Chains A and B, each alone.
Chain A
């Protein structure tokens, strides 16, 4: 079965540095998402992306964050000037299209640790 793949599985970064988290969504999917899960807390929506632009974003997704689809297969989340509180599991997800209620297929996440 097709999968969403995320790299790296674990990223350790010094506070203040920039990180790029990478995702390869399922190949025929058109709608992409990033979520995060701080340890022991709920999965939280960050942003959705469709047709090369942001579709929705949450309050968490401020100017520190950006997303990009640099080519036909990758979908990236960039976090500038990382803070300790950015430490979390970051999940990428994709769905076939933007029709309401489409199942979202999640990757296994990147664990981001900010030191």
Chain B
């Protein structure tokens, strides 16, 4: 069966460090992968998209990589700030449409 797993339920890091979050998938051939941020009691907020033929995407302090051989995406936040504390979700979509399948999320805590 298809599985999407995100590393550890929680990740604690010090302000200013780089946070690296992992999304692994099995039995899946995604056309693209998206990363979302979710704050408590709020809906997911889109951050970045990366397609199957792209290796890396950047947006300000955010960087996403996508390795279809390893079936893995890495999400990096550089120079992390306490305001980056949230749950980060990866979501995959197949070729047929825009139905997103979400991972369970990683809760990031950035300590001052």
Binding site for B on A (CB under 8 A): 4, 31, 33, 35, 41-45, 48, 55-56, 58, 91, 93, 95, 98, 100-109
Contact check, A43 vs B89: say whether CB atoms are below 8 A apart. Answer: yes
Docked CA distance A41–B51 (Å):
26
Known: A42-B105, A91-B44, A108-B43. A103 touches B49 (CB 8 A): yes
**Pair B93/A101 contact, Cβ less than 8 Å:** yes
Residues A100 and B31 in contact in the complex (CB < 8 Å), given A45-B100, A58-B99, A95-B98: yes
Contact A106–B99 (Cβ < 8 Å): no
Q: Check B97–A101 contact: CB distance below 8 A.
A: no
B98–A42 contact, CB under 8 A?
no
Q: How far is the CB of A101 from chain B (nearest CB, A)?
A: 5
Interface residues on chain B, size class? 20 to 34
**Contact for B31 among A35, A101, A105, A109, CB less than 8 A:** A101
Pairwise interchain contact B44-A56, C-beta atoms closer than 8 A: no
Return 11 A-B CB contacts under 8 Å, by A number. Answer: A44-B102, A45-B100, A48-B98, A98-B97, A98-B98, A100-B32, A101-B34, A102-B98, A103-B46, A107-B43, A109-B43
Are B43's CB and A100's CB within 8 A?
A: no
Does any Cβ of A come within 8 Å of B10's Cβ? no
Q: Contacts of A44 on B, CB cut-off 8 Å?
A: 102
Q: How far is the CA of A107 from the CA of B46 in the complex (A)?
A: 12
Inter-chain contacts of B34 with A (CB < 8 A): 101, 103-104
